[in-house]
Structure 1
Amino acid sequence: MPRHCVLPQQAGEGSLYEAIPSARARYDSHIGLAAFHRDIFLFKAPRPVCGWGILFNLVSRPRFGCFSHNAHDPIAGFLDVPRCCQPAAPVAMTDSARSQPKLPVQQLVILVVARLAEPLAYTSIYPYLPEMISDFGIPQVDIARWAGLTTAVFAVSQGLAAVPWGRASDRYGRKPVVLFGLASTMICFIVWGMSTSLTMAIIARAVQGAGSGNVAIIRTIVAEIVPVKELQPRAFSIMPLVWSIGSVVGPAFGGFFAQPATKYPDWFGNIDFFHRFPYALPNLIASAFFLFSATTTFLFLQESLSSKRGQHDVGLTLGHRLTHLFTRKSKPPRPSDAETPSDQEHPIPSQKLSAPEPPPGMKEAFTRQTVISLVAYTFTSMHSVAFDQNVTVFLNYPVMEHTPENTQLPFFFNGGFGLKSDKIGIIFAIYGTTCGLIQFFLYPPLCRRFGILKCWQFCSIAMPFIYIITPYASLFPTQQSRLTAVVLVLMLKGLVGIIAFPCITILFTNSCSSTRILGTVNGFATAFSGFARAIGPATTGFTFTWGVRHGCIAAAYYFLAIIAFIGAIPGFMVEEGDGPTRSEAESVEEAAADHQATARTRLVKGPFRATLDNLLNQC
């Protein structure tokens, strides 16, 4: 008998089965992928196989082989193929192939669907917000101030609720918090669209902000399921890419479907509901997507919090049954699908293998680098969101003829673009499309070429100059030239903004010391950025109003440039960290959850089991 084979009679199926999770744990600790799915055992019966061919989803798929006699590391020798089973030259798995990680695409897609809800809710109001406030009876010169306050109240309430939502996710799990946030956003968004007064609209925005903590929670989930540094630029760039997609779709349908009875009288002119609530239609359309997002999350999103993994999830069970039902309709079940007695031979205890460690204290969690990264992230949120909100008011502001009496360049001049909500929606769609293309094609190679830190530093320096040149786009003589100029400025803003946000997010996440407090730390980040997103639009709106009254419409953009310059300073004190680590107790706890899941997985079924046993005996 070749020494390469370990027979069930020698080692016992139980001992070999028990050896698999420990080998997998050592493999996970080597490449740092404890959150990936490691429960699937894949076999190929048509090819001659010796031993238990175990293949992870994390590596490429070479030929299967046997376990070597090295019991200390079965993964290292499982491709050691004896001559009796070699159809060709042995294929050895290289170290690079063995250690090459992959993104958990399925879970990231579900997070993308859930994350898309917020940019839809946040950006779809931009094109019609000035007209909506004007319909409430607000004078033209005060629209910028109230638009800023409407945006600010959402950010303040979201910031106040961010830390409690983060702590709730650390205690009860990430998935329940995400589901509640989606449901809350859907309801409040409908109420916002049916607002008949400025007070009602502000209250709806405040409740909507307080009920959603999904920004921090989804960011935490991404950090937990993608702990490998090499994959983080791609993983963390997905969510800003989602924001870019939302920034395209949201303003487009927000501007297109606002005031439908007036814009499309043939379709909606006879519907009294849209005369009474002219801004309800885009919100109703978005709410349908929120319902789809909540359903997808409930059925297919897996819990990433280590202390909650392995627990029964009604949504996942229902989702599995639904997918199995449709799969069974398209593909009849085989007799081999029945469970074999060995499926129940080695049940894994459900209790935790060790008591969980208490979460680290605030001093341990908020290191110097974490605080510096948080300050940089806060300032970036402040001026970037304030710019996006205020530029809609600038685009809507009436065009003015520039004369020597009302224009004293380079600082004193007035006038905007005089655009309606549909044209503003088109411009923001171009803006969002640019951001998405940059995110998809330019961001990953730039990060690989120059590094996360250098990309962030360049973008933080470039933003103030973009803000300074923005108001001068209104000085061009023709409407076409003005629109061309402002679109080019927005494309530059999209270039640096869409690179800056994932970079500072990665720097902030990698500055944390432990995964056990990621939810809380990201909650604080959302809280601070929420306050910044409140202060930025509010103060910029007041500055815009003051500037218009004093003949200096560019005052708001000078103000944003000053904030951006201040926010760039911490970027040159940030250092790239190694990322949050998992404690020993947490790793054991997660291994227990994986062990439970593996015990519920059928190891081999039907004729495949008999084929493998016969091949083992032949060896």
Structure 2
Amino acid sequence: MHARTPRLPVQQLFILSICRIAEPIAVTSYLPYLPEMVESVGVPEAEIAKWAGLTTAVASFCQAVMAVSWGTASDRYGRKPIILLGLIFTMFLSLAFGLSTSLPMLIACRAMIGLMNGNVGIIRTMVAEMIQDKELQPRAFSIMPMVWTIGSIFGPAFGGSLAHPAEKYPEVFGNSRFLKDYPFALPNMVSAAFFIIGITTGYLFLHETLAAKKGHRDAGLVLGQILTRPCARQREKSRFIMPDDERTPLLIESQHTTKALQGIPEVKQPRWREVFTSQSALILLTYALMSVHTMAFDSLFPVFLHNPVQRLQDNPDMQLPFKFVGGCAMDSQQIGMFYTLTGIIGMVMQFYVFPTFAKRFGVLNCVKAPTVVSPILYLLTPYIPLVPESMRNATIFSLVLAKLTCAIFIFPCITILLTNSASSLSILGTLNGVATSVSAIGRAAGPAVLGPIFSLGVRAGYIIIPWWFLSFLSVVAAIPVLWIVESDSFQIQSLDEPEPILEQSLVEETHPIKYHDSRTK
């Protein structure tokens, strides 16, 4: 029997992407206007960076508290229902954030968003359960980060252009008392529309990937099949002509497969020693440390760009090359434009450049290279205001693009390394929940620590302090990478071997590592 070429389950990945897209839009839309929002609730100018950092950090900290619980819940109740719950909670809490009129309300809304959503790890788990062929992993694991990048294109654009709509577009929104009283509500209302699309699409068309739940009746899929019955009939006709391929068990389960899967017992909560291998622990540490400096930069860079320009000529408070505090005096719309432009380029790099580099140079090398570049970028960041004004925008664009490129390579590669370090497929939900927690701790610690340091540096007259401290953190984050080893744990059965009988196929599909190990011993 001829070997079959492995293919991506494009349809289900596309549906999962639609479910995912609303979250990056909501998360990144507030970055351009957050300094203005914090200022609008009465925070003094010198304290804006600190409270903006803490507002960002509290969501990540709360996500760290609940991520493992959400991941474990997905191991028990299924990936799909937990993902839909996270989307519903985030939609309503984002709307509440846009209506916030006090600092405690801002912080409370961000905290609840973190507590009520563990989708990052669960979605990674779904992708890992869909894609068990190592050749497909770089492209498969780049899809969700690419979706995030697409969201980061629209999010800052919405946030920057739709904040204060009554002032920016008086001919359209000038008579709206609601938008005058709540100038940051409109970007979150636009995000809510994407949430509704994602929730509806996921409910109707997303297939469960948890083996123990695959054979269960799904009311959403039944309704989706009823609504798309004319198209389904056309596909059925085509299926008599087209040969079956490896996507079929995922997208359209046969009656034999469904019955066999119904006999699979419920997944038990894994023991911690099954979750943590030595490599998994090392990769999780790297993930946390990388998240510290990445999120610290993302939360503080808009504040830095919003900071007032410092006079360069005859200024006794400035002693170059170290003592200066100037920013770029940009508003939310200008900041959003930079993130949108770099996001468009990043989207292309995510799906085309990254998989090519990962296959050619290896996943681990694609982590190592950005760890060398990141400290240099952070060292150069505070000197942007000293660049001649005619070249400043190009410099900001280049720096943001370089920083985005580092993130595009680092985080999908860490996800692949972590997935391949898992002791079995059955613990992936919990492992990715732990990964979400440690990443969230890092993303909370970065802004929480760097925000006060930024304010301290501004008061002392040394804007280089927070950025050089960030450079030091990025060097520390690179140290564990030296001991990481690429693993082939999730390689499935060789395509050159004869196909096993149905029962063996089902076991291998559900527990590929266990089955693979039993054949090689």
Above 0.5 in TM-score?
yes
Pair 1:129–1:347, CA change in 2 (3 A): closer
Matching residue's letter, 2:6: P
Residue 378, structure 1, aligned to residue 293, structure 2: no
1:306–1:589 Cα contact (<8 Å) kept: no
**Aligned in 2, Cα 1:588/1:540: closer, same or farther, shift over 3 Å?**
farther
Bigger CA drift: 114-123 or 416-425? 114-123
Closer, same or farther in 2 for the Cα pair 1:564/1:263, shift >3 Å?
same
3-state SS, counterpart of residue 327 of structure 2: coil
Give the Cα separation in 1 of the matches to 2:141 and 2:91. Answer: 25
Which amino acid is the alignment partner of residue 391 of structure 2? S
Is 2:139 the partner of 1:234?
Answer: yes
Alignment of 1:106-117 (within 5 A): 106-117=11-22
Report the Cα distance in structure 2 between the residues aligned to 1:154 and 1:436, rounded to whole angstroms: 25
Alignment partner, residue 543 of structure 1: 453
Letter in 2 for 1:445: T
Q: Which residue of 2 aligns with 1:591?
A: 506
Report the TM-score when normalising by structure 1. 0.75
- The structure 1 residue matched to 2:412, chosen from 472, 487, 502, is 502
What corresponds to 2:367 in structure 1? 456
Deviations 1:571-611 (A, max 9, x none): 1110011234899xxx969838999xxxxxxxxxxxxxxxx
Q: Name the structure 2 match of 1:149.
A: 54
Shift of 1:345: 11
Tell me how far 1:477 sits from its aligned partner: 3.2
1:186-230 Cα shifts (integer Å, max 9, x gaps): 000110101111111111111111111110000000000001111
- Give a deviation string over 1:315-359, Cα, whole Å, max 9, x none: 01111111104667x99999x9xxxxxxx9999857855656855
Distance 2:421 2:386 in 1: 44
Q: State whether residues 274 and 427 of structure 2, in contact with CA within 8 Å, keep that contact through their aligned partners in structure 1.
A: no
Matching residue of 1:198: 103
Which structure is richer in relative contact order (CA contacts within 8 A, separation 6 or more)? 2
Separation (CA, whole Å) in 1 of partners of 2:49 and 2:422 = 38
The alpha carbon displacement at 1:432 in A equals 1.3
Alpha-carbon spacing, 1:451–1:390, altered in 2? closer, same or farther (3 Å) = same
Which AA in structure 1 matches 2:440?
G
Q: Distance in 1 between matches of 2:16 and 2:257?
A: 32
Query: 1:122 aligned to 2:27?
Result: yes
Distance 1:176 1:358 in 2: 18
- Higher Rg of the two aligned structures: 1
Q: Where in structure 2 are the equivalents of 1:347-362 lying within 5 Å?
A: 353=263, 360-362=270-272
Whether 1:428 aligns to 2:339 is yes
Shift in Å, 1:285: 0.6
Aligned-partner SS, 2:228: helix
Q: Indicate how the Cα distance of structure 1 residues 320 and 568 shifts in structure 2: closer, same or farther if over 3 A, else same.
A: same
CA–CA separation in structure 1 for the residues paired with 2:173 and 2:504:
57
- Structure-2 change in CA distance of 1:225 and 1:393 (3 Å): same
Deviation digits for residues 290-323 of structure 1 (CA, Å, limit 9, x no counterpart): 0100000000110000011111000011111111
State yes or no: 1:512 paired with 2:427: no
Partner of 2:71: 166
How far apart are residue 156 of structure 1 and its match?
0.8
1:33 aligns to what?
none
1:438-464 deviation per Cα after TM superposition (whole angstroms, max 9, x unaligned): 212311111122111111111112111
Kept in 1: contact 2:165–2:183 (CA 8 A): yes
**Residues of 2 paired with 1:265 and 1:487: CA distance?**
30
Paired residue for 2:228? 323
| CA distance in 2: counterparts of 1:274 and 1:309, whole angstroms | 46
Q: Residues 589 and 153 of structure 1: is their aligned pair in 2 closer, same or farther, counting only changes over 3 Å? A: farther
Q: Identify the match of residue 86 of structure 2 among 178, 181, 198.
A: 181
Q: Secondary structure at the match of 1:433?
A: helix
User: 1:270 matched to which residue of 2?
Assistant: 175
Residue number among 138, 141, 150 corresponding to 1:245 in the alignment: 150
**1-structure distance, mates of 2:362, 2:351:** 16
Q: Any unmatched runs of 5+ in structure 1?
A: 1-75, 77-92, 337-343, 596-619
Cα 1:372–1:397, aligned 2, differ >3 Å: closer, same or farther?
A: same
| Residue 399 (1) aligns with residue 304 (2) | no
Structure 1's 214 and 590: CA in aligned 2 closer, same or farther, altered over 3 A?
Answer: farther
2:63 and 2:444 map into 1 onto residues whose CA distance is 9
Q: 1:364 to 1:285 in 2, by over 3 A?
A: same
Q: CA deviation at 1:257?
A: 0.5
Partners of 1:354 and 1:535 in 2: CA distance: 41
What is the CA-CA distance between 1:428 and the residue it aligns to? 0.9
Contact 1:385 1:536 in 2 (8 A): yes
Equivalent position of 2:481 in the other structure: 571
Provide the TM-score with structure 2 as the length reference.
0.88
Query: Match for 1:392: what amino acid?
Result: P
Instruction: Using the TM superposition, give the Cα deviation of residue 434 of structure 1 relative to its aligned residue in structure 2, in angstroms.
Output: 2.6
Residue-by-residue CA offset, 1:372-413 (whole Å, 9 max, x unaligned): 111111111111111011100011111111245222223211
Between the aligned partners of 1:345 and 1:327, the Cα distance in structure 2 is 17
Name the counterpart of 2:274.
Answer: 364
Q: Distance in 2 between matches of 1:417 and 1:355?
A: 59
Residue 462 of structure 2 is matched in structure 1 by 552
CA distance in 2, matches of 1:161, 1:589: 37
SS at match of 2:215: coil
Matched, 1:528 2:438: yes
- Does the CA-based 8 Å contact 2:32-2:335 persist in structure 1? yes
SS at match of 1:461: helix
Is the helix fraction higher in 1 or 2?
Answer: 2
Asked whether the 8 Å contact 1:353–1:592 carries over to 2, the reply is no
Partner Cα distance (2:289, 2:70) in 1: 22
CA deviation after TM superposition for structure 1 residue 101, in Å: 0.3
Which of 412, 418, 425 is 2:329 aligned to? Answer: 418
Residues 345/504 of structure 1: CA separation in 2 closer, same or farther (3 Å cut): closer
User: Which is further off, 396-405 or 374-383?
Assistant: 396-405
The share of aligned pairs that are identical, in percent, is 45
SS at match of 2:43: coil
Amino acid in the other structure paired with 1:441:
Y
Task: Give secondary structure in 2 for the equivalent of 1:127.
Answer: coil
Which amino acid in the other structure matches residue 540 of structure 1?
Answer: L
* Distance in 1 of aligned mates of 2:256 and 2:67: 43
Aligned length: 487
In structure 2, relative to structure 1, the CA distance for the partners of 1:592 and 1:512 (3 Å cut) is closer
Equivalence for 1:616 = none
Q: Which AA in structure 1 matches 2:506?
A: A
Against the structure 1 CA distance between its residues 200 and 348, is the aligned structure 2 distance closer, same or farther, given a 3 Å change threshold? closer
Residues in 1 aligned to 2:182 and 2:34: alpha-carbon distance in whole angstroms: 14
Task: Give a deviation string over 1:5-34, Cα, whole Å, max 9, x none.
Answer: xxxxxxxxxxxxxxxxxxxxxxxxxxxxxx
Deviation at 1:495, TM superposition (A): 1.7
Contact 1:116 1:246 in 2 (8 A): yes
Q: Which residue of the other structure, out of 355, 378, 392, is the alignment partner of 1:467?
A: 378
Q: Which amino acid aligns with 1:393?
A: V
**Is the Cα contact below 8 Å between 1:110 and 1:297 reproduced in 2?**
yes
Q: Which amino acid aligns with 2:342?
A: Y
Q: Is the 8 A contact 2:137 2:416 kept in 1?
A: yes
In structure 2, the CA distance between the partners of 1:358 and 1:264, relative to structure 1 (3 Å rule), is closer
- For 1:209 and 1:556, locate their aligned partners in 2 and report how far apart those are by CA, in whole Å: 26
Deviation of 1:513 (Å): 1.1
CA contact (8 A) 2:211 2:264 kept: no
Larger CA deviation: 247-256 vs 440-449: 440-449
Q: Which moved more, 1:445-454 or 1:514-523?
A: 445-454
- Decide whether the 8 Å contact of 1:190 with 1:287 is kept in 2: yes
